[in-house]
Amino acid sequence: MTDLDLCYRTATELIALIHKGELSARQLMEAHLAQIDRLNPKVNAIVTYLPERAMEAARAADEAQAHGEPLGPLHGLPIAHKDLEDTAGVRTTYGSPLFRDHVPEKDALIVERIKKAGAISVGKTNVPEFGAGSQTYNEVFGETLNPYDLTKTCGGSSGGAAVALACRMLPIADGSDMGGSLRNPANYCNVVGFRTSPGRVPVWPTATAWSPFSVQGPMARTVEDAALLLSAIAGPDPRSPISIEQPGDLFRRPLARDFRGVKTAWCPDLGGAFPVDPRVTAVLESRRDTFTDLGLIVEEAAPDMTDADECFKVWRAWQFELARGELVEKHRDQVKETVIWNVQEGQKLSGPQLGRAEIKRTALYHRVRQFMEEYEFLLLVVSQVSPFDVRQRYVTEINGVPMSTYIDWMKSCYYISIVGNPAISVPCGFTPEGLPVGIQIVGRHHDDWGVLQLAYAFQQATQVWKRLPSL
């Protein structure tokens, strides 16, 4: 088996080989480091790179296995952590010039769990500044390019992670998502990104531990690999008061399920809630029959998403002001304009505005909950447009409809974020220009497992994930 063969194997296959003693962590790491050396200079996905440290850790992993020590579920798998997540002793910039040389003393909880499960970090993946915006560029490391077309964006904010997966530089990666940051880049890079239920993957450190808006989750090439990574990072932790009590190892069960007779709502634009580029819609429509072939009852229907836009923007602005307000006040000249705008919007908010937004969000949650008592899943677009020019910072219009803010083109994702339902982006097809398009599968409240099962069934029926970049 060549190094390149190893890079093309799924994480699930690689773990099986390691556990059977047919593959060493050193062999696996050498193969992926060689792939990084070949391709990363072309796409700029991994921005802090630690090959020597990774090889040292791989040798230690092999020694532990030779001595009969128990192996974690991710033993020996190479990974890189999103540059928003603190990594002890490793530079973490958050994509900001203000933190260009910042080295945290402690790991974030998600990093802590991934290490404990046996994965080995090769460094950090690129992000937009403070994760703001679904376009991965910053003033520290520059732009991350889409491997299917190097002139196009890879999305964001987990853009470096998605590109590293698409280029087979990594078998798994972590990410986070407030308004689409796991789903959008996965959609743009023909990989899988799973926005888990709030609390499924406990978030720490955070100044707003009760907040359900920004979540962490797995990215991978396949649904099985995403489930594998989720099994290692999910589960309760006392540092997160909203953490879900179910253990992570529930996600290591077989994903196969009989979907005959399951009612599903087909709503690419959530019932006309936002404009969608017709090329994106066409890709989804070409796969609609796949769901009926799987036995699902697919009906055109959509929940009432009234007030979703207002609720998300109010709570996003409040979160940004809490997290970045003091920084903007002290270093305004070194923070990008969209972050400043978000903070300013938060500063304008009043207590009554927040209260009204929460009342509306509660009503929205119940409308969606009641709708999904009839329909187990929603099927819709991930992003409203296909990958655009990497020099364009955000989408300003769709189908002639102007976007009023830099995030409006991601309503298809953040309308789901605001109600807290689990949602996954799974490869669906390609535009005539050869650009990837994913489909977003949304499940009922806390039904992360059901979402993974339907995503797996769709993946197995289509096999779109196997189409590699020409790079």
Alpha helix locations (H) across 287-410? 288-293, 308-331, 337-348, 351-374
In-domain check, residue 457 = yes
CB atoms within 10 A of CB 401: 12
DSSP state, 361? Answer: H
Output the six-digit token pair for 70. 């128990």
pLDDT tens string 85-100: 999 999 999 999 999 9
**pLDDT, mean of residues 59-72:** 97
CB-based contacts of 254, cutoff 8 Å, min separation 6: none
In-domain check, residue 321 = yes
Catalytic residue at 82? yes
**pLDDT, mean of residues 305-320:** 97
CATH of residue 382:
3.90.1300.10
Residue 204 DSSP SS3: coil
**pLDDT, mean of residues 22-50:** 98
pLDDT at 1: 76
Spatial distance between the Cα atoms of 42 and 60, rounded to a whole number of angstroms: 31
Domain count, the chain: 1
- The answer to whether residues 406 and 338 touch, using CB atoms and an 8 Å cutoff, is yes
Among the listed residues 9, 61, 63, 65, the one whose alpha carbon sits nearest the alpha carbon of residue 35: 9
pLDDT tens string 221-244: 999 999 999 999 999 999 999 999
pLDDT tens string 447-468: 999 999 999 999 999 999 999 9
pLDDT at 179: 97
CB-based contacts of 205, cutoff 8 Å, min separation 6: 86, 106, 108, 109, 239
DSSP state, 451? Answer: H
**pLDDT, mean of residues 391-403:** 97
Q: In this prediction, what percent of the chain has a pLDDT beyond 70? A: 100
φ and ψ of 254, to 5 deg: -60, 140
Would you give the end-to-end CA distance of the chain in angstroms? 21
Spatial distance between the Cα atoms of 460 and 471, rounded to a whole number of angstroms: 25
* Distances from the Cα of 201 to the Cα of 81, 395, 453, angstroms: 15, 30, 18
φ and ψ of 26, to 5 deg: -65, -45
Residue 376 CA to its chain's centroid (Å): 22
Q: State the residue range of the domain holding 301.
A: 3-466
**Upstream peptide bond of 157 is cis (omega within 30 degrees of 0):** yes
Kindly write down the DSSP assignment for every residue of 54-83, as one continuous string.
Answer: HHHHHHHHHHHHHTTPPPPTTTT-EEEEET
Residue 144 CA to its chain's centroid (Å): 16
In-domain check, residue 274 = yes
* Catalytic member of 24, 157, 158, 386: 157
In-domain check, residue 471 = no
CB-based contacts of 252, cutoff 8 Å, min separation 6: 73, 227, 228, 231
Sign of CA dihedral 153, 157, 160, 166: negative
**Residue 28 confidence (pLDDT) above 80:** yes
β-strands 263-266, 192-195: how paired? unpaired
pLDDT at 124: 98
pLDDT tens string 133-162: 999 999 999 999 999 999 999 999 999 999
- The answer to whether residues 439 and 379 touch, using CB atoms and an 8 Å cutoff, is yes
When pLDDT is cut at 50, 70 and 90, the band that residue 471 belongs to is: confident
CB atoms within 10 A of CB 231: 20
- The answer to whether residues 128 and 156 touch, using CB atoms and an 8 Å cutoff, is yes
Burial 165-186 (b: 16+ CB within 10 A, else e): bbbbbbbbbbbbbbbbbbbbbb
Q: In this prediction, what percent of the chain has a pLDDT beyond 90? A: 99
pLDDT tens string 252-288: 999 999 999 999 999 999 999 999 999 999 999 999 9
Spatial distance between the Cα atoms of 294 and 455, rounded to a whole number of angstroms: 12
**Residue 3 confidence (pLDDT) above 90:** no
Residue 68 CA to its chain's centroid (Å): 35
- The answer to whether residues 94 and 130 touch, using CB atoms and an 8 Å cutoff, is yes
Spatial distance between the Cα atoms of 62 and 18, rounded to a whole number of angstroms: 9
Spatial distance between the Cα atoms of 87 and 307, rounded to a whole number of angstroms: 38
**pLDDT, mean of residues 90-111:** 98
When pLDDT is cut at 50, 70 and 90, the band that residue 401 belongs to is: very high
Spatial distance between the Cα atoms of 217 and 85, rounded to a whole number of angstroms: 12
When pLDDT is cut at 50, 70 and 90, the band that residue 51 belongs to is: very high
* Catalytic member of 96, 121, 134, 181: 181
**pLDDT, mean of residues 393-399:** 97
pLDDT tens string 331-358: 999 999 999 999 999 999 999 999 999 9
pLDDT at 277: 98
How does the average pLDDT of the chain come out, rounded?
97
